[in-house]
Structure 1
Amino acid sequence: MTEQQLARPVYVEGDPRDLTLLDVNARFMPHEQFRQLVDNIKRDGCLTSTPLVWNDAGQRIVLSGNHRVAASIEADLRRIGWLEITEPLPRQRQIALQLSHNAIVGQDDPAILKELYEELEAVEWRQYSGLDDKALDLLEKVDVAGLGEANLDFASVQIMFLPDELERAEAAFDAARSTASADQRWLAGLSQYEPTLDALETARAAYKIGNSATALGVILSVFERHLAELADGWFDAATGEPTRAGNAPVETVVGTRELPVETAAALRRAIDRLIADGSVPEAEPWRALDILAADPRPAETQ
């Protein structure tokens, strides 16, 4: 490798849609982080950091800042600025520039990062900072008084989004099972991946949340409020008849997993009376609901 200095890049402004993004980019960005980048650019109305572009005989190729350029397009910016290299670049130099911009970065001092982050009082500015769950976990570890893992009740759950093809799905699951340490593994279709991310993003945006785990808690809370709608899986509301055999979850009948203790006590007393008079088998107390739900009208009026 011989030393070769680049000519000084020039600052250029133009439409980001005129730039060519890399087909192969070692730098990846999670969906949520990209959405945050788009939101930040919309808020600022411009890019606040500068991409590096190579002008290859009129074709402007983004060597560094592909995600920023893509996000600026999605944010509907019509004009951005970038640094442009106009001299010929061998393929080796292009790759070296791309990798160096991705790899040579500073590192945060956790204590200072925590101090600065805690100065952000408004939730929207904390969200704007773009600190992800990994960085926030780092901030928590700075606090020596924090709870240790041994003091927490937790379970590690891994959700895998698999393709429809059986052989590829089985191979992916076997590979994950041999390497992952999750306590449980849940499988979902690959087609459900984007809707899942969209649901998390909607929950984050609605409540101004930066943490994905908290957003998932919001989604589960909304789900709990709509348990009764799951009755569609076994009940035809038009006919009042079940649509399948087997059992149905009780919460899809009453719309809640819990009852007020007064209601529960009254129901328990009614069941005990029916068991005592022999109307309901002791081993099947739930059959009391058949009696409680029986239509009291005479047969000819039903």
Structure 2
Amino acid sequence: MKVEIKTGDPRSLKLLELNARYMRHEQYQQLVNNLRRDEALTSTPFVWHDVTTGDRIVLSGNHRTKASIEAGIEEITWLETSDPLTESQRLAIQISHNSIAGEDDLSILKTLYEKIDDLDLRQYAGIDDATLELLADLDSPSLGEANLSFQTLAIVFLPDDLKEAQDVLRDALALASSSDAVWVAALRQYDQTMAALDLASKSHDVTNVATAFGLILESFKDHASELVDGWYDRDTGEPKHHGMAPLLTLFHTDAVPTKAAAVVEKALQQAVARGDVPAEHRYKALEQWAQTYLDTPA
């Protein structure tokens, strides 16, 4: 894309009719006040010059352009392209300029902000009340953790696969909790996760990360019963700890046919009614059945 620097009257530019980016009233007024003080626009909008109509359309920087007009600025500078752009290309540029942005390191932001010794200039900085509250609550001595090396893995499940993903993750959490899990993962496990995603992607020839992660969850579900070793000692036949054991590791499934489930439910209701098992611990019926089976000669 060929880009040029242009200077002209902001009133000659055409603003977007539909703009997803919004600015709160107090933020916009602060922007207008800053421009009045500077008597210039100190950041550049991005403009598309439609050579067929002659219109110069602001794809990015609509609020700055509008605020410069309200501040009485006669001339601003902007970046401009005259390349032929489709509507989709223009929309993609508009959205990307609005959505792709960095984030502030609060500890550094606090250090920089506190170096401003003029109250008017602090107001000029334009930090909103919510951020100011975060800076006020920031405890500098506790920021040593910020120097630790870590990776953040964010996983978003779209509605189509939400229920299945929730079911699998519930099983994963239940199995982990019965194996004395530590909920802070080592950094090396991030690399293992990335390697697993790469392996799943290559094995099934997929490039979508969500699909690859789904394959990993399916593989886990297929082999989750192997985690019986987390609570059961195969050599002694005794439990390894006094926590809870997921039924999935016993029955190799987390669901049974409804016909069979109905029989089990009626039996459990009868066992509770007779007082054979407490209502709050219905699993005791399973233990009694198993013990009866073990006591019966082969």
Q: TM-score range by the shorter chain?
A: 0.3 to 0.5
TM-score by length of 2: 0.46
> By percentage of residues, which structure has more strand?
1
> By percentage of residues, which structure has more helix?
2
> Which structure is larger by alpha-carbon Rg, 1 or 2?
2
TM-score by length of 1: 0.45
